[in-house]
Structure 1
Amino acid sequence: MTSQPTTAAPPARGSAPARVQPRPRLRGLDGLRFLAAALVLGFHYTGIGIPQWGAPPHDVFPVLNEVTRYGFLGVQLFFVISGFVIMMTAYGRTITGFAASRVARLFPAYWAAVALTVVLQLVWDGGRNPTLLDSLVNLTMLQEAWDVPNVQGAFWTLWFEMKFYLLIGVFVLVGITRRRLIAVAVLWPLVAELARATDSALLSSLLIPSYAPYFAVGMLLFLVYRDGGDLAVWLGVALTTILSMRQAYHYAGTAAEHVGADVSPAVCAAAVAALVALVWALSAGPLRHVDWRVLSTLGALTYPLYLVHGQFGFAVIDVLHDDASRWVVLALATALSVAIAAMLHYLVENRVHDRLRDGVRHGLEKTLPAR
């Protein structure tokens, strides 16, 4: 969702961070990120019970809904990939380099998405209708901390990503080594669950127990990619995968309430295990040589598509659902979202990313003049 284009340092053994090297792309993971966005888009348009169709989506799309009601698992897949890619970004880097790369990756498309959504709400009254102050707070990406409504529903995940980046930033300051990475990835979900069980509100909020296993398994899969894996790492992967399956299993009831139809806990757990296996297969397993250039193009569109698909797609559905075939409306909603995502990538991200990254890094590295 918020990960940078999926690139990685060549596999190298050892516990000390390697010197930063040019990174060959993992195009398979780029494609997998787009699949995650497609799952979420399908869930929001035809899975969850949105009012814009005028009827429950499981009545509007009875067959398709049998699949897309599980599209919420695209978020879990995003978190696994984020654990992999953010660990790859942070490993062997300074805190200034890490912070600058995250700011430049996250904010340009996000600011544009907020602005475009505010404009949309001026001409369409069927959305969230945020106040001007709500919209300004949204520009900080910290609105969840102040209980300010998100201008796009999908923005809620960014707050969890920000917490993850904070934890990784602290990790960078302490110093990332292979042993510490294994320890953090294994202990983090356990300590997070203890914080929730003991009603420690601050720690529970900081350690995000509901999603920690997904991030953690991604971190360990990065080690499998980087070092080839060993018994200790694979045991950690097994533990965090099982914990991720458990989270998905127990979330099925909540998902069923949103969908308005049955969501199988067993299917959720099995799907998470399959998605974790797919991340491994495309990074270090039998599919690691997948290198189709189109996958990187799709990967580049993933983050802006995730940001804008909600309100813009809902507006199309709301305006057209009574006047056209449901399949035509669905296609138009999807096409508009992809078109806006492409615009944000090529006209905003490509033009702003490097300058913003370099400017932030320069500002953080600047020292006070000697007196």
Structure 2
Amino acid sequence: MTTDPLTRSLHEDPTMPASPAPDRPRLAALDGLRLLAALAVLAYHYTAIDQEFWGHPATQEFPQLSLLTRYGYLGVELFFVISGFVILMTAYGRSLPAFVASRISRLYPAYWAAVLLTVALQAFWDGGRRVDPVDALVNLTMLQEAWGVTDVQGAFWTLWVELKFYLLIGVLLALGEVTRHRALAFALLWPVLAQLARASDAALLESLLITSWAPYFAGGMLLYLLHREGPDLLVLLGIGLNVVLAVHQATRYADTVAPRHSDAPASQVVVALLVVLLFALVHACSTGPLARLDQAWLTTAGALTYPLYLVHGQFGFFVIDTLSGRVDSHVVLALATSLSLLLAWAVHRLVERPLHAPMRRAVRRSLSGR
């Protein structure tokens, strides 16, 4: 879903060389699961949300398909669970400068490319999101949410959530080496403290603790502890706690927020079952029966996931806006998906691979003062 130890996350590139470590096995199935999550989000955006590019709600264009894809937004929640798993894996045995360097070099090259490509697209296409030049520059920082600046692509909101999660892990690293006890305490207490911040109207603390999404990240962290050290009562209870909290968040979201984006209602029962399935899939792909899969195509899938997530929005909508009403809708859907995959491959091959290692080394040297 690299020169880093064999880790996988929403922003990892599994085709980069890595140094094997006995407690960090290759988890190819997790790469494939990441791509599945990205494709679920893509399908949701193209076939289930209310947007003008088809000329009417997408659910009218795909009445049968949208019965399934209306739940595709849960691909984001799956990303967060996977991220909790792999970022804790990354933090084990790593210094704070090394962790920061790995995150910056992983996130920014592909992201910068996606922002610049999107701005170039908007220069001649009057659909989709339009931002002025200054706002486009702010987008290059990935901090635009903090300044209330419009994302050049709608899906970019999750990157701000991820950055805050990385900040929390950075604080954990700054306090000392990541150990089982510290990681366990963090994953158990974080979602509870985040909810207390919300209940007490502590807006800044609630934002920093990413209250709505904390159970997904924390649950993923505990799944990593289960993977690393085997069954343990507190770990299992913690996973159960975070699954319950995630189900609560997801069902409330399905009832209150999801209807603002789609005229296709989401069943709370289905959402609850899917959230439980998300955690079960991450466990199956990391510790369970799927963990032994090692097909090469899964590695390629993992490499394309992050750039695909970054570019699929505006570029797919451009194809839909240009061709809908003139070409069969299923062909348009296939072309929009194909263009997104092609751009994802280009960004990975021409930007991520050549820039990742030099940037990581440069950032680490700067942070280490040598």
> Is the TM-score greater than 0.5?
yes
Is residue 58 of structure 2 the alignment partner of residue 57 of structure 1? yes
After superposition, the CA RMSD in angstroms is 1.4
Letter in 1 for 2:155: A
Q: Give the whole-Å Cα distance in 2 for the aligned partners of 1:75 and 1:107.
A: 19
Q: Give the whole-Å Cα distance in 1 for the aligned partners of 2:318 and 2:114.
A: 15
CA contact (8 A) 1:217 1:237 kept: yes
Q: Give the whole-Å Cα distance in 2 for the aligned partners of 1:245 and 1:153.
A: 24
TM-score by length of 2: 0.94
CA contact (8 A) 2:37 2:79 kept: yes
- Assess, with a 3 A threshold, how the Cα gap between structure 1 residues 84 and 226 changes in structure 2: closer, same or farther: same
Deviation per CA, 1:65-90, whole angstroms, max 9, x where unpaired? 00000000000000000000111111
Match of 1:192 in 2: 194
- Assess, with a 3 A threshold, how the Cα gap between structure 1 residues 92 and 79 changes in structure 2: closer, same or farther: same
Match of 2:6 in 1: none
Match of 1:362 in 2: 365
**Equivalent residues in 2 for 1:84-103, closer than 5 Å:** 84-103=85-104
CA contact (8 A) 1:45 1:314 kept: yes
Identity %: 58
CA contact (8 A) 1:2 1:105 kept: no
CA contact (8 A) 2:85 2:223 kept: yes
Match of 2:12 in 1: 4
**Equivalent residues in 2 for 1:142-221, closer than 5 Å:** 142-175=143-176, 176-221=178-223
Query: Residue 259 of structure 1 aligns to a residue in which SS?
Result: coil
Deviation per CA, 1:81-123, whole angstroms, max 9, x where unpaired? 0000111111111000000000000000000000000000011
Query: Residue 287 of structure 1 aligns to a residue in which SS?
Result: helix
Is residue 79 of structure 2 the alignment partner of residue 78 of structure 1? yes
**Equivalent residues in 2 for 1:261-340, closer than 5 Å:** 261-340=264-343
Name the count of aligned residue pairs. Answer: 356
Letter in 2 for 1:126: G
CA contact (8 A) 2:48 2:264 kept: no
Q: Give the whole-Å Cα distance in 2 for the aligned partners of 1:189 and 1:6.
A: 30
1:23 Cα shift? Answer: 4.3
CA contact (8 A) 1:53 1:60 kept: yes
Instruction: Give structure 1 stretches of 5+ with no counterpart.
Output: 8-18
CA contact (8 A) 1:20 1:93 kept: no
Q: Give the whole-Å Cα distance in 2 for the aligned partners of 1:64 and 1:56.
A: 13
Is residue 134 of structure 2 the alignment partner of residue 133 of structure 1? yes
Runs of 4+ in 1 over 4 A off after TM superposition: 19-23
Q: Give the whole-Å Cα distance in 2 for the aligned partners of 1:282 and 1:5.
A: 17
CA contact (8 A) 1:241 1:276 kept: yes
TM-score by length of 1: 0.94
Q: Give the whole-Å Cα distance in 2 for the aligned partners of 1:284 and 1:53.
A: 42
